Amino acid sequence: MRKVYRVLAHAIAAMVVIQAGAIGYGAWAQLNWIGEGNTLDNAALESGAPGSAALIFHSFFGGGVLLVAIALLVISFFSKIDRGVRWAVIVLVATFVQIALGVLSHFTAVIGAVHGAAAMVLFGLATTAAMRARRPAAREETVPANVA
């Protein structure tokens, strides 16, 4: 279970990187398209303007990150990792915050900037959780009674 925990935590970090790549591609593809003299509006987005699919992917892929974070929490109860449940909860809460910021960023762009920064925090937390899974759990040493 320790390995599954580590793989799930690394998967969350990798998914955050994929999310960043998708949103970056979507934004720059649309900026380049606008730079060529096109106009970006709802009609252009609905007709498949460059980068639109990447933005949609970014939105829906966040749900996948949430599912993996929930799976990490479930596995944490069986993995016997020192503070593994705590780190899984922290990753799950950070994922919820990340999704909430993404939804709220539709109201103001400033929240979108915080959403991007929170992605870096989520990446760090997931990586930390994965690294903690490598450490053996704290165990009591038995000392023979005749040791002087």
**What are 14-39's pLDDT values in tens digits?**
999 999 999 999 889 888 888 888 77
CB contact at 8 A, 55 and 23? yes
pLDDT, position 9: 96
pLDDT at 142 over 70: no
Instruction: Extract the tokens encoding 126.
Output: 């997931």
CB contact at 8 A, 29 and 50? yes
Taking only the tens place, the pLDDT of each residue in 59-110 is 899 899 999 999 999 999 998 888 889 999 999 999 999 999 999 998 998 9
Report the distance separating Cα 112 and Cα 118, nearest Å.
10
CB contact at 8 A, 92 and 72? yes
Structure pTM?
0.83
CB contact at 8 A, 27 and 51? yes
> Around 139, how many Cα atoms within 13 Å sit in the side-chain half-sphere?
7
**3-class state of residue 39 by DSSP:** coil
